[in-house]
Structure 1
Amino acid sequence: MARRARPGPMVLQHNTPNYNWRDTPFSLVYGCEAMVSFEVGARSFRRDNYDSVANEVNHRLYLDMIEKTQEDAQIRVAAYQQRTTRHYNSKVIARTFKVGDLVLRRVMPNTKVVSHGVFGGNWEGPYKINSVLWEGTYHLNDMQDKLIPRAWNAKHLRKYYQ
């Protein structure tokens, strides 16, 4: 079986504009666009129309505006992070319980009765909330007021209605 050659390092990773920044990482640092390695040996529009005086003037202008460009990129990244956070948090179901509430606890794979098979219950209980460690984490008591040994996350609990 022939062995496939491993791909080399990504040459274009610093020359590809990022969606959030709308600029290349190279241009955000140095204030100008990098020349791709295959452009150096081949003829291209940029090489054929190169003017060193105009390039020097434009480079100084870019360096003067680089802080503004970096600030704009930071604002875009912050806006992207806020959108991502808002989208993620919209799917989170907030469950808060008070001490004394009755809850059902999700059956975990290590406590599932194997003989019940697929028809076994997914929830067990009811249990009482004994104490709140911090928001979303609770100690439970069973109905005989015996403490359940470990803390439980609200994700694995459901309110029990009598």
Structure 2
Amino acid sequence: MWSYNTTPRSTTEETPFMLTYDYEAMVPVEVGSGSLRRDRYTKEYSEVNQSLHLDLLEEARENSQPRLAVYQQCAARYYNKKVKGQLLKVGDLVLRKVMSNTKKTQHGVFGANWEEPYKIKAILWKGTYHLEDMEGKLIPQAWNAEHLRKCYQ
């Protein structure tokens, strides 16, 4: 926890501790032994410095926001570049991923990873589908495209 709160983030270039309390945390070793920061401490200087830092705290937080937005855009761009969309249409045949509650226990680790073909009955919204089996019986819940794979028969 200490390491997380006292390490500057690449997104804001500030430590979470600094953005919360408006001063840098002291390492526990500094408290027990002497350090320049601790040896030069005076109450008057600390109060003046604290007042100045409190005035600048909101500015530091505001300056971190654009850096955070740029970081989030870069992360989204990287993610979207790697993701390949799967275009499925009504009537396409798909295989459904075997879930832990539908897995046949007697097959063990050699059991199938994908269940028999289903037809896409309806598209609810992008990436979410209603399925029906090959006899036309509707599967009760909607399925996300991440759990479906196009079947080429």
Shared fold by TM > 0.5? yes
Residue type of the alignment partner of 1:105 = R
Per-residue deviation, 1:71: 1.5
Deviations for 1:33-92, whole angstroms, at most 9, x for unmatched residues?
A: 344555455432123334666655544543343222111222333333333344444444
Q: 1:98 matched to which residue of 2? A: 89
- TM-score, length of structure 1 as denominator length: 0.64
RMSD (CA atoms)? 3.6
Aligned residues: 151
- The residue type paired with residue 72 of structure 1 is N
Q: Which position in structure 1 is the counterpart of 2:7?
A: 17
Gaps of 5+ in 2: none
Contact 1:100/1:128, CA 8 A, preserved across alignment? yes
| Residue identity (%) | 53
Q: In the TM superposition, what is the alpha-carbon distance from 1:153 to its structure 2 partner?
A: 1.9
- In the superposition, the TM-score normalised over structure 2's length comes to 0.67
User: Which of 133, 146, 159 is the matching residue for 2:150?
Assistant: 159
TM-superposed deviation, 1:128: 1.7
Structure number having the greater helix percentage: 2
Cα contact 1:12–1:36 (8 A) shared by 2: no
Q: 2:138: which partner in 1?
A: 147
The answer to whether the 8 Å contact 1:107/1:124 transfers is yes
Q: Which protein shows a greater Rg?
A: 1
Which region of structure 1 is more displaced relative to structure 2, 51-60 or 37-46?
51-60
Q: Cα 1:46–1:136, aligned 2, differ >3 Å: closer, same or farther?
A: same
The SS at the match of 2:141 is coil
Unmatched tracts of structure 1, length 5 or more: 1-9
Q: How far, CA to CA, are the matches of 1:59 and 1:85 in structure 2?
A: 38
Q: How many angstroms apart in 2 are the aligned matches of 1:161 and 1:101?
A: 9
1:71 aligns with 2:62: yes
- What SS is found at the alignment partner of 2:121? strand
Query: What are the within-5 Å matches in structure 2 for residues 32-111 of structure 1?
Result: 32-36=23-27, 39-40=30-31, 42-50=33-41, 58-109=49-100, 110-111=102-103
Equivalent residue of 1:147, what SS? coil
Q: CA deviation at 1:98?
A: 1.9
Question: Structure 1 residues 142 and 75 mapped into 2: Cα distance closer, same or farther (>3 Å)?
Answer: same
Q: What SS does the corresponding residue of 1:149 show, helix, strand or coil?
A: coil
